[in-house]
Amino acid sequence: MNKAEILYRIKNIASQKVKIAFSDIDGILRGKYIHKDKFEKSIEQGLGFCDVIFGWDCNDKCYDNAEVTGWHTGYPDAHATIDINSYREIPWENDTPFFIGDFSNDEKYAAATCSRSLLKRIDAESKKLGFTPLFSQEFEWFNFQGTPSEINESGFENLKPITPGMFGYSVLRTSLNQEYFNDLFELLSKFKIPLEGMHTETGPGVVEATVIYDEILNAADKAILFKTAVKEIAYRHNFVATFMAKWNKDLPGSGGHIHQSLWDNHLEKNLFYDANTSSGMSNLMEHYIAGQLKCLPEILPMFAPNPNSYKRLSGGDWAPRTLTWGIDNRTASIRAIPGSQSSTRIEMRVPGADTNAYLAMAASLAAGLYGIKNKLPLDTKAITGNAYLSNSGNRLPDSLEKAIRKMAGSEIANELFGEAFVNHFTRTREWECRQVDPNDEYWELKRYFEII
């Protein structure tokens, strides 16, 4: 539907409310209901939204080190814009109209804090170079019995996954909770987040799903909404879904792998594919991979944003820790998947399920474009065998503290994203490191289990 058709539909539906949401720096949706009359005005004029969403953490505790906003600014309204093209209806809320917004028209917040605005800038740069990025994120997440209140009241002890044991690709386990899995597939599709596939992963109560690819901004919207939608659908079945990178040290972590390719601006040709090379990979694809390898250590917090993220990146359990690439090798950080004109792509395997999709996709694309613009050669060989055990690639930083220090002083990061963003983002990650409580063995579950 075009803008006029959407506004006409909303004006004539029975519901008096519209739901809007904006992503904070952690990729958590912050929003509210507004009257549909206010919505119509907001489409033309924008609306004010309290900038505290950029001044507090995932537990609503205000940063003490942020410059953009804080007690020193009084937390004023930022000028928000609703994206009319993000329209969808929430099928589990009586088809309530829903829209995503951002702060692209407010220079202060667009430059430093708004992750969706950052992705839009990098996407525009890509298109100016003649490339349309097609992306998709796949998620692994664990599901538990109980309500948020019950789990919190239990002190996060004796958590009960919805299925027992290690049983990846299980036909049996999906039958056990058939109504839940049916709801996930069907309701997500109605919410304009169609799934390419969904299956159990190895671990108790863990599921993996891949969202069908799209142009990068739409793909990031879908990824952000996927996590919130899954949590809301889980509530309906008295389950709680967690996207923590590593909720249990003895079980595999939860990945948020990002599939990506570049096409011409008419979407007619996959620019990563070259039938005349032995590998099927174009020079452009090689430059893109080289750029990601070059930039990855400099911008790692955008792929691994929390202290808990680095427990997943410990080597093994399907999560990489070396700066490596390989052809269809799931132990490398970057998995090149050469194939046909329609399927050739790469899979970035570093991100966990705890990422902000806008930031992770922006980082992936910006790093790849860096390689293309600088014509970086792919001078490291594709790794074969187990990259977890390899010494051929440099190790990624093994803690958020180390990763922050590298990004905060990185000329590459400032070039890719701007000093304002790098300064604000690394300060929020420094704050996150200070929230570690070594005296409480459950601090990560209390902080991240339901929210992240």
Please give the pLDDT value at position 318: 83
Alpha helices by DSSP H, listed for 255-345, are 283-295, 309-312
| List of domains in the chain | 3-107 (3.10.20.70), 127-448 (3.30.590.10)
Percent of the chain with pLDDT over 70: 99
pLDDT at residue 196 is higher than 90: yes
What is the arithmetic mean of pLDDT over 398-411? 97
For residue 394, what pLDDT band results from cuts at 50, 70 and 90? confident
Distance CA 306, CA 401 (A): 10
Residue 393 pLDDT class (50, 70, 90 cuts): low
Contacts made by residues 39-44, CB under 8 angstroms, sequence distance 24+: 39/10, 39/82, 39/97, 39/99, 40/7, 40/10, 40/11, 42/80, 42/82, 43/3, 43/7, 43/82, 43/84
Q: What integer is the mean pLDDT of 106-119?
A: 97
Q: What is the pLDDT of residues 6-38, one digit of tens each?
A: 999 999 998 899 999 999 999 999 999 999 999
More confident call, 394 vs 153: 153
pLDDT score for 141: 98
pLDDT over threshold 90, residue 452: yes
Q: Give dist(CA 343, CA 196) in Å, integer.
A: 14
| Sign of the alpha-carbon torsion through 442, 446, 450, 452 | negative
- What was the pLDDT predicted at 388? 86
Average pLDDT in the 330-348 region? 96
Helices (H), 24-114: 36-45, 107-112
Assess whether pLDDT exceeds 80 at residue 392.
Answer: no
Mean pLDDT of 74-79: 97
Other CB atoms within a 10 A radius of the CB of residue 57 amount to 18
User: What pLDDT does 390 receive?
Assistant: 75
What's the CA angle centered on 283, arms 386 and 211, to 5 degrees?
60
Does 211 have pLDDT greater than 70? yes
Residue 359: what residue type?
A: L
Type of residue found at 152: N
Average pLDDT over residues 258-282: 97
The tokens of 312 are what? 């997943």
Percent of the residues in the chain that have a pLDDT greater than 90, as a whole number: 94
Q: Which residues pair with 141 in a beta bridge?
A: 207
E runs forming strands in 212-279: 214-215, 239-242, 258-263
With a cut of 90, say whether residue 183 has pLDDT above it.
Answer: yes
List pLDDT tens digits, range 315-330. 777 889 899 999 999 9
pTM tops 0.85: yes
- Which tops the pLDDT comparison, 235 or 1? 235
Q: CA nearest 251: which of 159, 349, 145, 334?
A: 159
Q: Does residue 275 register a pLDDT over 70?
A: yes
